Structure 1
Amino acid sequence: MAMSGGKDDGEPMMEMNTTPLIDVMLVLLIMFIITIPIQSHAVKVDLPQNANPQAPPPVEPQKNKITIDPAGRIYWNGSQVNQVTLRQYLDASVQISPEPELHFQPDPQARYEVVDNVLATIKRSAVTKLGFVGNEQYRADF
């Protein structure tokens, strides 16, 4: 570290030593960067709450499955349906006691617009037991 002196050896040094100030500023900058919370994109999802975890599950109810192929065709338990028929099937399944589980499995190549319309139809029909099937394959992508 070089030091500057005056013109004569006996005069006081005229420049301020800025090295400690720079060191303190760097330490404060690093501490500020470390304490900044990580920005993450989160989607709020209302998950069902288990009211009584000790109660055994009811007898295995009927499971219905909605699939969407890459061409945008909608299938209810393997048979092709349109939006109106899908809504009728959903309204009928909500009336069954206990309500059957609804498994939703869109193809990864299906258009988002079709998937969004089907999800809106499911929401409007007040289905309470909905599960997304096949998302396990994307677990490592996130």
Structure 2
Amino acid sequence: MKGGMMQSVRRKPMSEINVVPYIDVMLVLLVIFMVTAPMLTQGVKVDLPETSADPIQAEKETESVVVSVDANGAYYLEVGDQGSDPMALGQVQEMVGRIMAERTNREVLVRGDQNVDYGTVVRLMSALQRAGATNVGLITEAEEINNAGG
């Protein structure tokens, strides 16, 4: 009976897990997240004025409240990573008042477009002070130094 039939060889079951497919999936997911993460940052397109002032080091332990004013005079409120739709000045004052009631040591920053009316930014800063923000700062971009002219 040896000639026509092959004897079946019994193999011992493998007790190891093949992790190579899991590593492949993990690397693909890593690449996907690395590509999409920069696209997830949302914000308001604001053309910031340029200055030559030194940057201020923000405190790491508290989240900043950023109020943006675009070129059309619309207000946007950003707390941490959370942005908002366009708001009226009264709504901004009310929301900042609630935030400042929770934690008074939060810094409030104003990011105003350089083409917005000066009075709009002043009214915003006044509303922020009425809401309880005692420390209001302005966000600008670093001025580009042009050495071509001499």
In the superposition, the TM-score normalised over structure 1's length comes to: 0.51
Which residue of structure 2 aligns with residue 91 of structure 1?
97
Q: Does 1:71 align with 2:72?
A: yes
Which residue of structure 2 aligns with residue 118 of structure 1?
124
* Alignment CA distance shift 1:92-1:137 (3 Å): farther
CA deviations 1:70-127 (Å, max 9, x no partner) are 1111111132211111111111121123532211110000111211211110122231
Report if aligned partners of 2:108, 2:136 keep a CA contact under 8 Å in 1.
Answer: yes
SS of 1:81's equivalent? coil
Alignment of 1:1-142 (within 5 A): 60-77=61-78, 78-79=83-84, 80-97=86-103, 99-134=105-140, 136-137=142-143
* Alignment CA distance shift 1:112-1:62 (3 Å): same
Report if aligned partners of 2:125, 2:136 keep a CA contact under 8 Å in 1.
Answer: no
* Alignment CA distance shift 1:64-1:120 (3 Å): same
**Structure 1 stretch 127-136 or stretch 106-115: which is displaced more?**
127-136
Question: Percent identity between the aligned chains?
Answer: 15
Larger radius of gyration: 1
What is the distance in 2 between the residues matched to 1:97 and 1:109?
32
CA RMSD of superposed structures (Å): 2.6
In the superposition, the TM-score normalised over structure 2's length comes to: 0.48
Shift of 1:136: 3.8
Which structure is richer in relative contact order (CA contacts within 8 A, separation 6 or more)?
2
